[in-house]
Structure formats: structure tokens, C-alpha cells
Amino acid sequence: MIHQNIKVAVDAVVFGYKEKSLHILLIKRNVEPFKNSWALPGGLVLDTESLEEAVIRELKEETNVTVDYLEQLYTFGKPTRDPRNRVVSVTYFALVKPEHHIIIADTDADEVDWFDINDLPDLAFDHSKILDVARTRLRNKLTYEPVGFDLLADKFLFSDLENLYKTILEKDIDRRNFRKKILSFNILEELDEKVSEGRGRPANLFRFNKEQYFKHKKEGFLFDIK
């Protein structure tokens, strides 16, 4: 007869775009193990809730963030990943606009903060590995779906969109070809609002037209950025 003593947890990689850089939402743990270490928000799934309900609850409890976009990422189940028990973690990644959220630490978190993805502290458990998988997923997803919907401000400069792609893809892009291709999809609206950008001439703001995008998608539209 097989005996199991396995607990199920959820962890969330929450991406946000601020200060022209990709950021990750982290909590500082106030309990052992890894007390005072930074970690991804998450915790054990209650007997009465689904996985999605658990990750939404944990995010709200530990960070005060309600997610705009949530997708299941991967399941991590190495027997030694948690020194207390055998814990299998079903992980998710979320995309949010940081300016839409007031972050507040609670329950198992002493602090909560946004960290530049290129300047992260050491993370508890196997959370660095989870983050690596999430970054790869986001990088791949960016080439076939306009995730900027969920990361950029409601109104943005085209240069912000360019920089978002450069940041996530971690490489330079051909600005002229990128602009031409993005505009060819007809999912951006150029507004009669201008913002000064450095010493150059004021530039027009843009916004995404989600209704147009989903209409195109329903008709078999292919969003493809390489």
C-alpha cells in the first residue's frame, strides 16, 4: 500500500512594468524557514478551495494585489524543495500595472515591494528557478500575444512599448520595422495627446484597442512578433 504525506501549495510570479524596467513583486517572510528572506507570494491550498482561488487569496492576503491577468505556469515537486514537508507547488504568473495597486504586507509577509528583475535579492526555497521559468514563458508569450495590454499604462508613448519589448526579450529591436509591424495590426490608437520625451519634440500618446484585438483574434488574426 502506498502512503502519501504531500501538501499542495501555490506560488505567484507577478510581473509589473515601472520606471522603464520589468519588476517582480516579492514578500519578505516573517516565519521559518527562510525567515527574513525575500520570496514569491504564495502558500498552502485550503481543503475547500481551488488552485486559482488559493493563489488569488494568497496574493490578496500577502500583498493586497488583485491580479489583472493570471496563467498557470508549471508544477514544482522536488522532494527537498521545502525543508519542513513534502510540498508540491503549482505556480502561476500574473501581469499587473503597478500604478493600479497599493501593496500592503500581511499574514506571513513582513514587507512587500517591487524589485527590478535585473537587481533581485537571493530568494527563498526554489523561487529563483520558478522565476527563471516564468521569465522564459513571458519572453515566449510576448512574441505571439500583446501582453503590453496588461503591463503598460492605459496611455503610453510608443517608445514605452518598444522599451517593454527590448526589456523582456533582452535584446535590441529594429525600431523602424517594429513600429511598422505593430501599427499594421491596427490594435493601437494614436491619441491627440502629446508628451515631451527628453529634449526631442513632444510625441503622441497611444492606447491599446482591446475590442479591436479580440475581434481580429476571433477572425483568425495572428499576432506575430519575432
At residue 5, the 3 state secondary structure works out as coil
Q: Are β-strands 86-96 and 6-18 bridged in parallel, bridged antiparallel, or unpaired?
A: parallel
* Residue type at position 213: Y
Say which DSSP state 42 is in: E
- DSSP characters over 66-119: --SEEEEEEEE--TTSSSSSEEEEEEEEEEE-GGG------TTEEEEEEEETTS
CA 145-223-67 angle, 5° bins:
20
**What is the rounded CA–CA span in Å between residue 80 and residue 172?**
39
**170 assigned to active site:** no
**What is the rounded CA–CA span in Å between residue 4 and residue 77?**
14
Given the residues 111, 189, 193, 197, select the one marked as catalytic: 111
Active site residues: 111
